[in-house]
Amino acid sequence: MTAAPPINLDKLRNAVQKFGAMSFTTSQLATDYEEGEGPANTQESLGFNALLHRHAALLGIEAQPSSAGGDTVWQAARH
């Protein structure tokens, strides 16, 4: 098993900023961050989701409530 490369927070912040005021899902952001590759499996996707939750304040984003379940929806934090 190989370790995943470390996440570049500047690259992650740039990916978040591309969405501006539009909402986006964890999968959309992961695909943008990975330059079209996206997470290869569910485990990687869950790891990316946990990363976004952990750094949400730094990235200026908030998880949006959803009753549908599935992929987390994010949006720029409102101040």
State the residue range of the domain holding 70: 9-15+23-76
The contacts of residue 15 (CB under 8 Å, 6+ apart) are 29, 32, 33
1 domain residue, yes or no: no
Instruction: Decide if 3 is inside a domain.
Output: no
State the pTM of this model.
Answer: 0.79
Sign, CA dihedral 69-71-75-77, equals positive
Q: Count of domains in the chain? A: 1
| Residue 2 included in any domain | no
Structural domain contains residue 54: yes
13-29: average pLDDT: 91
The pLDDT value given to residue 1: 46
40-79 residue pLDDT tens: 667 777 888 999 999 999 999 999 987 667 789 999 987 6
The confidence band for 5, taking pLDDT boundaries of 50, 70 and 90, is low
The reported pLDDT for the residue numbered 45 is 77
